[in-house]
Amino acid sequence: MILRRVLTGTWSDFGSNPGYFLHQLSIQFQQLHANYSRPPFKNRYNDEDENNVRKRKDTQQDHLQLYKSWGQHLLTNPRVLDSIIRNSGVGPTDTVLEIGPGTGNLTMRLLEAAKKVVAVEVDNRMVEILHTRVSESGLREKLTIICKDALKADFPDFDLVVANIPYGISSPLVAKLVFGGYSFRGATLLLQKEFATRLLANPGDSEFNRLAVNVKLVADVEHVMNVSKKDFVPIPKVDSSVVKIRLKTEIPDVNLNEWWAFTKTCFGKKNKTLGATFRQKKKVAELLNLSKLTSVDGDVVQRECCNESDDGEDECNISGTDVNLFKEKLVGILRTAGLEDKRPSKLSNDELMYLLSLFNQAGIWFRDQDKPRDINAAFAGL
């Protein structure tokens, strides 16, 4: 190269026409400058860009804002999605109920495996994306979309539930499924890990609470697998778990209104002894108020006309003597059952049902029998 000759030689090396060599040197210098200053060519089809394009397409991030307050965390890991489908046991003759389908990552797999999918989605933006995505796949006739709040919607008949449940409605939605009178083979649900742990807890476990007591009355719960928060877009603050819920073939003969109210009373302070709970003056007065006709040591205490207070609660004129007599009756029933010094967190459903039956036989009620059943209210805050 001429440039190398200039760098390593002397002017005598260029002979009788140094101008020619200087001209050639200028040309090569300009070529080198152009090559090194030009930005490197970027292949728009390299692996990294292709993955990014696919990720944007799958999550619809280009034109869709996801709301964490609505529990909109889309599961994107294909291995986890496939595992959920396998564990659900969905077959070609099944109608599957999916709650909160989002942009359809799980829905598309369900449509391939099931006879029909009923998707319940409250967000109209998600519904539009889901319509488009399913139509392009040629599976539109297998999908029915209900654009409503899942807690308020009436579900049509279904064989299975497979869903990534929005965290904020986990408790009332599980209650609606197991207590709502639906008949289905199983529910495979992706839930917040902490919620799933409570749902799976047994008497004596630190996580055992009213949620587990109520669900275990009518269903069996099985842990399937844990799911990392990194498998979602946007990434939530906590990990998740997949559980499988199956309704029991034989349901205990118990008034559900009473059961829910009774367990709420017992598990208000789950590590407190039942004796301590039922000696609280406020609780005694509340139960006496609910017991319209109660026998106290042979005497009859009739519930008098009550006035509604500013906060909507009934206020009755109950004497201190009535409260004390009624408290002794409550504690006497606990002693008869051998449960006065027991903590609710360590009791089985059979023990709790036995205690409730003793209370009811004595005319002691935990909920106003005239009010209609309200599953959402019963499970609020669990």
Q: Binding site for S-adenosyl-L-methionine: what residues are annotated?
A: 73, 75, 100, 121, 149, 164
Residue 106 makes CB contacts below 8 A (sequence gap 6+) with 75, 81, 84, 85, 98, 162, 163, 164
Half-sphere exposure of 297 (CA within 13 A, CB side): 12
Place of tokens 């008098």: 304
Exposed/middle/buried for residue 323 (C-beta within 10 Å: 0-12, 13-18, 19+): middle
Four-point Cα dihedral 74, 80, 83, 85, nearest 10: 10
DSSP strand pairing (95-99 vs 116-120) = parallel
| CB of 306 closer than 8 Å to CB of 334 | no
Cα separation, 277 vs 368, in Å, equals 20
Binding residues are 73, 75, 100, 121, 149, 164
Which among 149, 219, 142, 147 is positioned nearest to 184, based on CA atoms?
219
Place of tokens 């004129």: 317
Q: Tell me, what DSSP letter sits at residue 98? A: E
In angstroms, what is the C-alpha Rg of the chain? Answer: 34
Which among 303, 307, 305, 308 is positioned nearest to 289, based on CA atoms?
303
* Tokens (6 digits) for 67: 């709301």
Cα separation, 99 vs 122, in Å, equals 9
Q: Tell me, what DSSP letter sits at residue 8? A: H
Which among 197, 366, 373 is positioned nearest to 268, based on CA atoms?
366
Cα torsion angle, 167, 172, 178, 181, sign: negative
* Tokens (6 digits) for 195: 């919620």
